[in-house]
Amino acid sequence: MAFGPLPEIPMWVVYPILFIGFFISFVYLLIIFFKKDREMVKHIAKDIFFIIPIKNGAGHIEKCIEHLMTQNYDKKITILIVNDASTDNTEEICRDLARKYHSKDRRILIISKEKSTGNKASVLNFGLKYLFSKHKDELKNSLIAPLDSDTYLPSDTLETLVPHLGHEDVLAVTTWMLPANEKKFLAKMQKIEYLMTSFYRYLLGRIDAVCIAPAFTIFKAEAFKKIGYYDEKTLTEDFEMALRVNSFHYKIIFRDKPIKTDVPETFKSLKKQRVRWWYGTYQDVIKYRHLVSPKYGAIGTFFLPVTVILGTFIMLFAATLAIYSASFQVTNIVRELALGVIPRFELNIDFFTVSLFLSDPKIIMGLFALLLSILFLIYAANKVGEKVKLADYLIFVFVYGWLLILFCLEATIKYIFKLKTTW
């Protein structure tokens, strides 16, 4: 007995999904061709305070500090390392680095928490409270830059980004993130993911719709007095902070100056990170649902309602269809085996079959969408001088992409049923 075809997916399901995808792509194309970056305010340079939360980071903190100490920046740089109750020799290494790099315009401060909360936001707030209590006068007209301890800045990062903070309505500036470790399979996939995500954020920056303040962001010090410290109840404090900036009608600039960060290399660590990201996204979107409004510009009319809310719904719907299709296949196989029939899988490839396949409107639109995404990838890679193999991208689309959707599905289930998710 030949194995039957999958059940036909109704057109009223397929075409709206494709239409929404093309609509989002069309908006990004319009931004590429018709919107320009903001002009930066020249000759803006201020003292800057880095806050580096760290827990058992002995393996990478020295590299992080070395990159900060080589910045081509003529103002004072202070690095505050907040040791979150590390159990390795992180603090010892940090104190050695403080002695090694101490100078008139460069210094390293170290404070330690006796007990870890397992929450990055609480560690950042611990550092912020220390700065505003012990270095209050120095913070006047200065900058504060939270930085992950496994993130590394090229030497011209500060001189490139800081001038964009000269605008009155801008509270922060951030930039492209790319993997520092990109040899293993999962890291290669994340390189493509980070490249495309940063590219779309860069385009959103052209329409003042940036809603992320990731592993490295530079804030005006006054920002934390105007809008408050980090929310310790959310699992994605960077997304929450960015939404809060926009809720106060301030902006975040996103520039095309790539920096590198270490990314997960194992399935377990990747899954934990992505489930946390999605869970936190749900927390923050619910909290800031009032931003879905024309009075918040492109944030409220495009980014949140279309790319985040509608985009997430489409992903979950696609995952549901995939699970249903797989279940249908398995059920058929089990049923035929129970009847004593060995299922046969037939694959007939001829000119007529191929022509019929390629004449399907769904296939035509799908291939066009794939081609468009490849063009976006090429544009993004050229923008920051990166190279990506086409074979890697196809694996990213047809394999890794579904993995991300399953992570999203797990986070959705955990959020709905209030299951515990931690850092």
pLDDT score, position 341: 78
Which strands sit side by side in the sheet containing 217-220, from one edge to the other? 106-113, 77-84, 48-54, 143-146, 217-220, 170-179, 251-261, 151-152
Q: Does 255 map to a domain?
A: yes
Q: How far apart are CA 189 and CA 6, in angstroms?
A: 29
pLDDT score, position 366: 81
pLDDT score, position 347: 65
Q: How far apart are CA 156 and CA 299, in angstroms?
A: 30
pLDDT score, position 3: 44
Q: Does 395 map to a domain?
A: no
pLDDT score, position 42: 66
Q: Does 85 map to a domain?
A: yes
Mean pLDDT by 10 residues, the chain (423 residues): 50 74 91 87 84 96 97 96 95 96 95 91 97 96 97 96 92 96 95 96 95 92 97 96 97 94 97 96 97 96 93 82 75 79 70 72 82 95 95 96 92 93 74
Which of 189, 164, 419, 84 lies closest to 282 in space, CA to CA? 419
**pTM of the model as a whole:** 0.91
pLDDT score, position 333: 79
Give the count of domains, the chain: 1
Q: Could you give the 3-state DSSP secondary structure of residue 78?
A: strand
Other CB atoms within a 10 A radius of the CB of residue 91 amount to 17
- Please report where in the chains the tokens 């939404």 appear, as a residue: 243
Q: Which regions of 180-327 does DSSP assign to beta strands (E)?
A: 217-220, 251-261
Q: Does 241 map to a domain?
A: yes
What does each C-alpha distance from 130 to 80, 82, 84 come to in angstroms? 9, 10, 14
Q: Which regions of 17-154 does DSSP assign to beta strands (E)?
A: 48-54, 77-84, 106-113, 143-146, 151-152
pLDDT score, position 224: 97
Q: Does 26 map to a domain?
A: no
pLDDT score, position 208: 94
In sequence order, the 6+-apart residues with CB closer than 8 A to the CB of 360 are none
Domain span holding position 241: 48-267
**Cβ-contact 205, 253 below 8 angstroms:** yes
Q: Does 143 map to a domain?
A: yes
Q: How far apart are CA 283 and CA 415, in angstroms?
A: 8
Q: Could you give the 3-state DSSP secondary structure of residue 183?
A: coil
pLDDT score, position 2: 44
Q: How far apart are CA 230 and CA 146, in angstroms?
A: 11
Element (H, E) at 26: helix 11-34
Which of 280, 275, 285 lies closest to 306 in space, CA to CA? 285
Q: Does 300 map to a domain?
A: no
Write the single-letter amino acid at 75. K
Write the single-letter amino acid at 164. H
Q: How far apart are CA 220 and CA 223, in angstroms?
A: 5
Q: Which CATH number fits the domain that encloses residue 208? A: 3.90.550.10
Q: What percent helix, strand, coil does the chain show, rounded to 5?
A: 55, 15, 30
Q: Around 395, how many Cα atoms within 13 Å sit in the side-chain half-sphere?
A: 13
Q: Does 32 map to a domain?
A: no
